[in-house]
Amino acid sequence: MDRFTRNAVIGSGVLVVLLILSLLPWGGMAFGPRIWQLNAVLERDPVLAEYPYDFKALLFLNGIVTLTRPYDADVPMDEALVAMDPTLAGKPADDPAFAAARDRLQRTEFHAIGLMLAEPDVRSIVWSLDRAWLNGRRIAFPAPNPVLGGSM
């Protein structure tokens, strides 16, 4: 077998393997196209589009979607709300504007949950602190515990 024929056979083999891999189902892949589809659902929704925070799907595994949000037990909701709406800065926590902002955030979260649960292969939602969003707004958050993988 000459050099050209050998290289043609190897190249054809590589193309066949790539074609087979492209045809395999990606539903079980944690970072495959399904996560892109779930994010597209979130991005296309008009209710979420008008909200100042962009909810994102980070991971899809075994029917569980991990969604981002700008607060958790270590980062108070009010700090995130001030970052989204600077007019809340300096107002007391019991101010009606804060209450309305909290209510809108929670309604929007429930809406995002509903969108995800409407997908036939999604069974559950878990939340993850959006550290990149907080960092971009210079909001302090605790470092993750390397042993536990979560907050200290």
Where do the domains of the chain lie?
26-136
Task: Tell me what pLDDT residue 32 has.
Answer: 60
Residue 76 to residue 79: CA distance in whole angstroms: 6
Task: Tell me what pLDDT residue 152 has.
Answer: 44
Task: Tell me what pLDDT residue 10 has.
Answer: 87
Per-range mean pLDDT, top range of 32-41, 56-65, 134-143: 56-65
Task: Tell me what pLDDT residue 37 has.
Answer: 93
In degrees rounded to 5, what are phi and psi of residue 22?
Answer: -70, -20
Give the residue-averaged pLDDT of 12-35.
Answer: 66
- Asked whether the predicted pLDDT for residue 41 surpasses 90, the reply is yes
Work out the percent of the chain whose per-residue pLDDT is above 90: 64
Which segments within the chain are labelled E, that is strand? 57-61, 64-69, 124-129
Spatial CB neighbours of 55, under 8 Å, sequence gap ≥ 6: 42, 48, 67, 68, 69, 108, 109, 112
Give the residue-averaged pLDDT of 127-147.
Answer: 85
